[in-house]
Amino acid sequence: MYKGIAGSEGIGIGKAVLIEEHEINVEAKKVTDMDGEIARLQKAIEKFVADTTEMAARMDETVGKKDADILRGHIQMLQDPMLEEQISALMLNEKITAEMAVDQVLEQTAEMFAQIPDELLQQRATDFRDIKTRMLKILMGIEDVDISQVPSGTVLVARDLTPSMTAGINPDNIAGILTEVGGRTSHSAILARAMEIPAVLSIENICSIVKNGDEVVLDGTSGEAVVNPDEETVTRFEKMYQEHQNEKALLKAYAGQPSMTKDGTRVELVCNIGKPEDAKKAVECDGEGIGLFRTEFLFMDRDSIPTEEEQFEAYKTAAETMKGKPVIIRTLDIGGDKAIPYLGLEEEENPFLGFRAIRFCLKRKDIYETQLKALVRASAFGKIKIMVPLVTGVDELRQVKVMVADIMKEYDKEGVAYNKNIEIGVMMETPAACMMADALAKEAAFFSIGTNDLTGYTMAVDRGNAKVAYLYSTYNPAVLRAIKRIIECGKKEGIMVGMCGEAAADSKLIPLLLAFGLDEFSVSGTSVLKTRKIISDCDVEECKALADKVMKCVTEEEVLELLK
Ligand code: PEP
Ligand code: MG
């Protein structure tokens, strides 16, 4: 049994196809026919563009436009006139082959990006190395395994999955993926989940262990894989596979159904998204609205602040896609672990307790006003609600309300259309907001509980510190009390209370949340049907009886004993 990181859930059973990394040795050679060599380079670039365009088109169908655009970006990167100029100048000056020049220039460019202490820009280094490898293979006539042609029931085994490799995947033929590197948020994991292919990542030396044609079974939920399993193991995995398939088929029955408990309590089941295009996915997954649009993604992976127009288009797209269903848009939540280099924020000793989210926005009102203006304008196109992150007291909420009121006055003068009743709510994710929940509920239009942060801040735990990670648990009675208090305070003032942290999709916690009276559950698209099923299996009175017992628990262990 090999243990790795659970990258994408599901059971995979199949035969291994090893995606080998060819040794690419660029020979040092002098060129005599330089015109011919430059023509060879041009032909290779043309082939790269044609192949990539075709792969991106295929990827549009399998994983969606967003990821296909990463590949289209590779074309732009390679066709950058400066880069092409650099490659041909090096060839001419040094009289070297196209391979040598491509290798040197693209490696230098990748190295430059790799040095920048920013995760997103470092990702460009991977992109440039991917482009370099593919260009060298074209120039040297090296053919890779054609992933699009592998037989049904294939388990792909690779060091890592690059975007260009993934482009060829036909999800119907791939039973699973094993890799040597990558974590849950790596590109390969995100793509595997998007295609619903079970994946276990970061298994040490897996490419040396597995041979082509080996039998492989894997569990993408527990992160386990077995190579050439014995009969008993195969039977066990086949049983788990069947159970998983049955569960998936069963869940389909919940599509189009109301989100309602056994005894008829209706709740809202909405989705978390990061990009306007994700709203389409939310609709496909049967989400009843958007409970959290993390707008910081619009600010990431670029070199400047998105303009009011760009933001307006993004919010309008999400609102129109949801056709009048609620779309809760969280205003800029940066800082902490979400750095945006071009904003020039200083390094802080305690970034999670520092200049982030609403604290940053209220100091950089120029940036915040642009976002609020775009939001207010987009409110004319759907049911947009504004949510303020990391609130610690009513004064922050009031300041946002004043800013929105001023924008509305300006729009009235200019005759710009907007929704006069746009709701402004609070993301409840700090202990201070929890303590002030009674007061906040009087001034906020709604609450949404951010359990990811609320858990960390309530338990005073730095999630990056492995020594204290055991304390980071939403099952801790302290966190449960905080959640209960927030819901009760909201209910007392008659406002909607939702939850957009990971806990909203937690099967153990859903009965408690229903007992407390949570109105809205905001989960990832792939969790919608599962969450609806769990809700449908609950009876509120039974949940309340369970909650009474759970809330008497004083340790996490006692809580878990009851919830299991
Ligand atoms: C949360 O804190 O629970 C949350 C949903 O926000 P984020 O994970 O973006 O901080
Ligand atoms: Mg948060």
Q: What are the pLDDT digits (tens) for 126-145?
A: 889 989 999 999 999 887 77
- Taking residues 351-367, report their average pLDDT: 95
Residue 149: what pLDDT? 85
Higher-pLDDT residue of 514, 6 = 514
Q: Choose which residue among 273, 449, 452 to substitute to test ligand 1 binding: the one with the highest number of ligand atoms within 8 A of its C-beta.
A: 452
SS3 495: coil
| Residue 365 pLDDT greater than 80, yes or no | yes
Residue 87: what pLDDT? 95
The 10 Å Cβ neighbour count of residue 535 is: 23
- Direct distance between the N- and C-terminal alpha carbons of the chain, in angstroms, rounded to an integer: 27
Query: Could you give the CA distance from residue 431 to residue 285 in angstroms, rounded to a whole number?
Result: 33
Query: Could you give the CA distance from residue 473 to residue 531 in angstroms, rounded to a whole number?
Result: 20
Query: Could you give the CA distance from residue 528 to residue 525 in angstroms, rounded to a whole number?
Result: 6
Which of 22-31, 186-195, 389-398 has the weakest average pLDDT?
Answer: 186-195
Q: Which of 532, 66, 520, 482 is nearest to 328 (CA)?
A: 520
560: phi > 0 → left, psi -120 to 50 → alpha, else beta; which?
alpha
pTM: 0.72
Annotation marks residue 187 as catalytic: yes
Instruction: Detail the DSSP E strand segments found in 376-484.
Output: 383-388, 423-428, 446-449
Span from the CA of 179 to the centroid of ligand 1 (angstroms): 29
Residue 450: what pLDDT? 96
| Residue 12 pLDDT greater than 60, yes or no | yes
- Taking residues 4-12, report their average pLDDT: 90
Q: Answer whether 522 contacts ligand 1 (Cβ < 6 A).
A: no
For residue 301, which phi and psi values (nearest 5 degrees)? 55, 40
In tens, the pLDDT along 478-509 reads 999 999 999 999 999 999 999 999 899 999 99
Q: If pLDDT is split at 50, 70 and 90, which confidence band does 464 have?
A: low
Minimal-distance CA residue to ligand 1 atom 3: 450
Minimal-distance CA residue to ligand 1 atom 7: 452
Q: Which alpha helices (DSSP H) does 253-356 contain, by range?
A: 278-284, 296-299, 308-321
The proportion of the chain whose per-residue pLDDT surpasses 70, expressed as a percent, equals 97
State which amino acid sits at residue 408: M
Strand partners, 273: 293
Residue tagged 């294939």 (tokens): 154
| Residue 374 pLDDT greater than 80, yes or no | yes
Q: Hey, what's the torsion of the CAs at 312, 317, 319, 323, to 10 degrees?
A: 150
Q: Answer whether 12 contacts ligand 1 (Cβ < 6 A).
A: no
Angle between helices 98-115 and 34-62 (to 10 degrees): 50
Minimal-distance CA residue to ligand 1 atom 1: 450
SS3 385: strand
| Residue 371 pLDDT greater than 70, yes or no | yes
Q: Answer whether 294 contacts ligand 1 (Cβ < 6 A).
A: yes
Q: If pLDDT is split at 50, 70 and 90, which confidence band does 50 have?
A: very high
Q: Based on the number of CB atoms within 10 Å of its own CB, is 152 exposed (0-12), middle (13-18) or buried (19 or more)?
A: exposed
- Taking residues 526-546, report their average pLDDT: 96
Q: If pLDDT is split at 50, 70 and 90, which confidence band does 187 have?
A: low
The 10 Å Cβ neighbour count of residue 169 is: 24
266: phi > 0 → left, psi -120 to 50 → alpha, else beta; which?
beta
CB-based burial, 131-151: b 16+ in 10 Å, e otherwise:
bbbbbbbbbeeeeebebeebe
Catalytic residue chosen out of the listed positions 500, 538, 543, 553: 500
| Number of residues assigned to the chain | 564
For residue 97, which phi and psi values (nearest 5 degrees)? -75, 165
Q: Beta strands 11-19 and 215-219: pairing type?
A: antiparallel
Q: Answer whether 129 contacts ligand 1 (Cβ < 6 A).
A: no
Tokens of 440: 């906040």
Q: If pLDDT is split at 50, 70 and 90, which confidence band does 267 have?
A: very high
Longest Cα–Cα distance of the chain, Å, equals 86
Q: Answer whether 501 contacts ligand 1 (Cβ < 6 A).
A: yes
Annotation marks residue 74 as catalytic: no
Residue 463: what pLDDT? 64
- Taking residues 342-361, report their average pLDDT: 90
Query: Could you give the CA distance from residue 123 to residue 187 in angstroms, rounded to a whole number?
Result: 10
Q: Which alpha helices (DSSP H) does 415-527 contain, by range?
A: 431-435, 437-443, 451-459, 477-492, 510-516
Within 8 A by CB and 6+ apart from 352, the residues are 336, 337, 456, 462
Strand partners, 178: 157, 200
Taking only Cα atoms into account, the Rg of the chain, rounded to an integer number of angstroms, comes to 26
Span from the CA of 272 to the centroid of ligand 2 (angstroms): 12
Which atom in ligand 1 lies closest to the alpha carbon of residue 294? 9
Q: If pLDDT is split at 50, 70 and 90, which confidence band does 63 have?
A: low
Q: Answer whether 338 contacts ligand 1 (Cβ < 6 A).
A: no
| Residue 465 pLDDT greater than 90, yes or no | no
Q: Hey, what's the torsion of the CAs at 362, 337, 270, 477, to 10 degrees?
A: -100
The 10 Å Cβ neighbour count of residue 339 is: 17
In tens, the pLDDT along 79-124 reads 999 999 999 999 999 999 999 999 999 999 999 988 887 767 777 8
In tens, the pLDDT along 293-306 reads 999 989 987 789 99
Average pLDDT, the chain: 92
Q: Which of 259, 286, 294 is nearest to 500 (CA)?
A: 294
Which of 55-59, 61-65, 424-428 has the weakest average pLDDT?
Answer: 61-65
State which amino acid sits at residue 303: D
Q: Which of 378, 338, 376, 329 is nearest to 357 (CA)?
A: 338
Query: Could you give the CA distance from residue 376 to residue 222 in angstroms, rounded to a whole number?
Result: 44
SS3 74: helix
HSE-up (13 A, CA, CB side) for residue 39: 4
Q: Beta strands 199-201 and 5-8: pairing type?
A: antiparallel
Q: Which of 248, 322, 330, 238 is nearest to 281 (CA)?
A: 322
Span from the CA of 311 to the centroid of ligand 1 (angstroms): 21
Which atom in ligand 1 lies closest to the alpha carbon of residue 272? 5
**Whether 270 contacts 290, CB under 8 Å:** yes
Within 8 A by CB and 6+ apart from 383, the residues are 289, 319, 322, 324, 325, 326, 327, 419
